[in-house]
Chains A and B, each alone.
Chain A
């Protein structure tokens, strides 16, 4: 009997007693296996969820914020965070239900001998959802004035995290700022990725003198201390340049220096893969170099790249925050977390209005979430390792 007939008979004899679970494992591609492993990494999942939430907030910033980033109420300068309560006990002892807050009125703090703002416990200002508020353009296109939540009263702002020195709502500013800070992280890393993969790929695939030259360039760039380099490059940007242009240039600067790490990783993987049997098999199939790179090599290290990316994004966010905090990155009226933190540079301010440090808290939470996500992805990224 021919060998194939043997095999066919054997296959028929052996019933496919595979459980559904085993069958799914057998037919699972790379991404499914990675997802399976990632699911078991609790911290990574949590980080991913938080990061996703933050990015959603950034996407719908204008709608979710109680007011716009520039709307101000003069009477509420350095306003402390306003309280939110559910039950109000009126002076006559009656109970009223409903989410509400109290307006802040000037009072005298007898201990510090200063004038401050404090909530007026008797006046109730209800908090509504899907309420009309300060007008804005959603994504810069659709004019509307619908906000997710707010007081609905133009004279009484809702400042859950307090107000800054001009009477602007800090929570709204943080939400608007998330859009800038997070998008710089994404775009910067995207440019780094493009540069890193292309240059690293060329270096690794071609080898020889090209590889030599590129690697020496990488080493030179790497040996320049990054913070002074950023400061130097950022300082060249003229003060009078339009904010959008400044944003673009800052992103470019951060990306141009950040690609080297990725390029090295990509080059290493290319070098290792070049001699793998399945790459030679593809060559023997008649595949062109481009086809080999795109279809065989890149998918092989894609998972590692993604893990590296999710750890690079927080680096970019921190870099932008640092530059803007120092005053040489983005500048007002553009709002990013770093710009917001500029208001907190004054010790006196911090003592009297400590809520102005909260943008730093936003940075911490985001960076932590992305780091945990990156950890989880990195652990899950190589599902073929035993």
Chain B
């Protein structure tokens, strides 16, 4: 975890991975004759830098594009525009331009932990094969050495090595998630994308997995891109937070700064809705955010948050605010300097 006082964002000499003006559109065919409708802009001109060793959280609601962005970084989707640049041993590689075969060696270094522990493990393979498959594919270990490595990984995530002959249905949700984490770590990656990795878990299990992720990070020097919608969890483990709304980045800041005072109205609204675990701190209905999340096929003009924003002015519907540096962070709002918003 980084020091308390945040340096200006993105001035680190060599970020581990940068996303530059990334756009991901999904085509829509509607009607009887499968005419092209307007595309779904899942990710709409997003630029972001992930620093080595940090935990950067990507926060947003459904339709924000955070999952799509995470998967694009992993190479599951090919971007329609923009680049994804990964730095390794001093040289920069543009991952988004590589073919599937060229991408293969990088798949060892960027790995993913999935949200649903049930559907992310093939129910028909035993644990040793689930974790060992990537070892086979990359030719890392065979036979005895392979099972030793799997045993080591299981121990590191807190499971008994003799469980490796069992099948996923033998484990609870939390244990399955540990298996998923072991699988992600099998090839000694540098960047791990946690796609809502704790969202599907019970509260007490969530705490265990969060602790485990933190321990592993300090042991192995991992970098996390943590995708989530639960601001409470996010605040606990992140160094920096990037907030997304309807496919666009609205705010990127260090955690304490963001929670002390957000600069974007959507961030303020999000914080206003976290139910706090203390009945004496009930939130009033005045801070509620009305309306529905902006459409991705037909976004509002200008700033796509303006129809729901209580501070919107005429300028907000005309021009899309760029993500720019304001004080100690990046914000995409025309009024970032003038608004005084409430923190958590």
Contact = CB atoms under 8 A, between A and B. Distances in A.
- Is chain B in direct contact with chain A in the complex (CB below 8 A)? yes
A3 B218 CA distance: 12
A285 interface: yes
Contact of A278 (B121, B156, B165, B167): B121
Main secondary structure on chain A at its contact with chain B? helix
Interface in A278-296: 278, 280-287, 291, 295-296
Contact of A281 (B114, B124, B126, B212): B114
Interface string B157-199: 1111000011101100000000000010000000000000000
Given A26-B167, A283-B76, A6 B123 contact: no
B112 A4 contact: no
Interface string B58-97: 0000000000000100111000000000000000000000
Contacts, number: 86
B124 A299 contact: yes
Contacts of B208: 3, 6-7
B137 A286 contact: yes
Question: Interface size for chain A: under 10, 10 to 19, 20 to 34, or 35 or more residues?
Answer: 20 to 34
A28 B71 CA distance: 33
B342 to A, nearest CB: 34
Given A4-B155, A277-B116, A285 B137 contact: yes
A6 B126 CA distance: 25
Contact of A300 (B71, B124, B133, B134): B124
Nearest to B180: A281
Nearest to B115: A277
A26 B166 contact: yes
B168 to A, nearest CB: 9
Most chain-B Cβ atoms within 10 A of its Cβ — which of A4, A6, A276, A300?
A4
B120 to A, nearest CB: 4
A4 B137 contact: no
Given A4-B212, A284-B107, A286-B137, A278 B160 contact: no
A284 B76 contact: yes
Contacts of B122: 278, 282, 296, 300
A189 to B, nearest CB: 24
B98 to A, nearest CB: 13
A286 B170 CA distance: 27
Contacts of B75: 284
B120 A277 contact: yes
B159 A7 contact: yes
A280 B115 CA distance: 12
B76 A4 contact: no
Contacts of A3: 158, 208, 211-212, 214-215
Interface string B9-50: 000000000000000000000000000000000000000000
Across the A-B interface, the 9 shortest Cβ-Cβ residue pairs: A7-B158, A26-B170, A277-B120, A285-B134, A3-B211, A4-B158, A3-B212, A277-B119, A278-B122
30 contacts: A3-B214, A4-B155, A4-B212, A4-B215, A6-B158, A6-B211, A7-B158, A8-B158, A11-B158, A11-B160, A25-B170, A26-B166, A27-B166, A28-B167, A276-B119, A277-B114, A277-B115, A280-B76, A280-B114, A281-B112, A281-B120, A283-B76, A284-B74, A284-B75, A284-B107, A284-B112, A285-B107, A285-B133, A286-B107, A384-B123
Given A28-B167, A278-B122, A299-B124, 6 more contacts: A4-B212, A6-B208, A277-B115, A281-B114, A286-B137, A295-B133
